[in-house]
Amino acid sequence: MPGRLCRTTSTCGPAPVCSPSPQSVKKLLTGYVVNFNRRHQRYGDLLQNRYKSIVCEDDPYLLELTRYIHVNPVRGGVVRGLAALTTYTRAGHAALMGGVPRAWQDTDAILAHFGTTRREAVRRYEAFVREGMAQGRRPDLVGGGLIRSLGGWSQVLPLRRRGVTVVSDERVLGSGAFIEHLRAEAAHQERATLRLARKVVPLATVERILCARDGVAVADLHAGLRSRRVVHVRRLFCQVAVRGMGHSGAAVARFLGVTPSAVNRLVASEELPQTEKYLNGLSSLRYTPSRGNSACA
């Protein structure tokens, strides 16, 4: 759509295949702006109101949302009819129908809901999309959380008259149980973060413990050595310090004498299995501030 990009992204895959939405969207927007500015010989910012995201429950909301996104070009008058949409390269529908090869789009994740063979799945998916063409605009997929998840005001008002309350959140497209699960998970993560924030261990202490247990000299960690053991401990140190203890990537970069981007790459890489073990051990230590090595949030 002109001036707007809609996409559905799964964040449940193993790292680093799937990254959180803010990081992936930042990369997408940055790449687009850089290329646009280069083509048009301009400088500076390009986009406003960067992005808005909602969490979508897989079943039954994912298919409805996918259909709504894919037929947007038809509703907006960009293409005429379903036949033209099959070859329209700027929508995901063409890849699902097999009209446009697109390696980065996971078509199987959607088609698996429609049949066991690709031919059968494509046929049923096309019928599903054709059925949705007549529905017009779907405010239940773009409105507030309760209205969106229950399917519009026509579904909300009868429940209110009967005194039925449903858990809702404007950031989520899903059932009340799904929203409660997300809230409980977020609360657990917040409690863990606050617990660690009260027991932030200085970077020098984290480094000393990790190096001693893995048989690496502290000086080697700062010397930029590329031996397998040193690289492993450096990556483990960054993940424990940033992910677990709450130190900023910039603070860890200054401590190691490397660039913040190098630290961020190590932190964003697949979590090492030893990370949780070291965090459990470090969380029992009390915070003892040392000069020149304050905890950074």
Question: How far apart are the C-alpha atoms of 201 and 292, rounded to whole Å?
Answer: 13
In a domain, 171, yes or no: yes
Q: Does 108 share its domain with 129?
A: yes
Q: Does 157 share its domain with 119?
A: no
Instruction: Give the 3-state secondary structure percentages of the chain, helix then strand then coil, rounded to 5.
Output: 55, 0, 45
Question: How far apart are the C-alpha atoms of 86 and 112, rounded to whole Å?
Answer: 19
Question: How far apart are the C-alpha atoms of 149 and 139, rounded to whole Å?
Answer: 11
**DSSP summary character for residue 286:** P
* Mean pLDDT score, 134-148: 53
In a domain, 59, yes or no: yes
Of 159, 184, 209, which marks where a domain is finished? 184
Q: Does 213 share its domain with 151?
A: no
In a domain, 13, yes or no: no
**Domain count along the chain:** 3
pLDDT at 153 over 60: no
Q: How would you classify residue 248: left for phi > 0, otherwise alpha for psi between -120 and 50, otherwise beta?
A: beta
Of residues 250 and 283, which shows the higher confidence score?
250
In a domain, 22, yes or no: no
Which residues constitute the domain of residue 234?
A: 201-282
In a domain, 111, yes or no: yes
* Mean pLDDT score, 11-22: 51
Of residues 289 and 112, which shows the higher confidence score?
112
pLDDT (tens digit, 9 = 90+) per residue, 177-195? 666 766 677 666 666 665 5
In a domain, 196, yes or no: no
Mean pLDDT in the chain?
A: 74
Of 157, 184, 211, which marks where a domain is finished? 184
In a domain, 39, yes or no: no
Please tell me the predicted confidence (pLDDT) of residue 58: 64
CATH number at residue 236: 1.10.1750.10
In a domain, 99, yes or no: yes
